[in-house]
Amino acid sequence: MLGCVAAVISNCIFGAIYYHPSLPSGKVWLRRVFPGKSMADINNKSALGFSVVVNIMMVLLLRFILISSNTNNKDNEDNSNCNKNKNNDEDDDDDDKNKDTFSAVSVMDGFKFGVGLWCLTTLLEFPHVLLAQRSVDVFLIEQGHNFISMALSGVCIAYFK
Q: Does 22 map to a domain?
A: yes
Give how many domains the chain has, as a whole number: 1
Kindly report, residue by residue over 58-81, the tens digit of the pLDDT: 899 888 887 765 554 454 444 444
CB 5 within 8 A of CB 154: no
* Residue-level pLDDT at 34: 87
* Residue-level pLDDT at 152: 93
* Residue-level pLDDT at 23: 92
Kindly report, residue by residue over 80-107, the tens digit of the pLDDT: 445 455 555 444 444 444 444 456 678 8
Kindly report, residue by residue over 6-47, the tens digit of the pLDDT: 999 999 999 999 998 899 998 898 888 888 887 778 777 788
- Find, among 104, 148, 103, the residue nearest to 122 by Cα: 148
Q: What is the domain extent for residue 17?
A: 2-74+96-159
Q: Does 86 map to a domain?
A: no
3-class DSSP state of 87:
coil
- Angle at CA of residue 105, ends 102 and 110, nearest 5°: 65
Half-sphere exposure in the Cβ direction for 111 (13 Å, CA): 4
Q: Does 91 map to a domain?
A: no
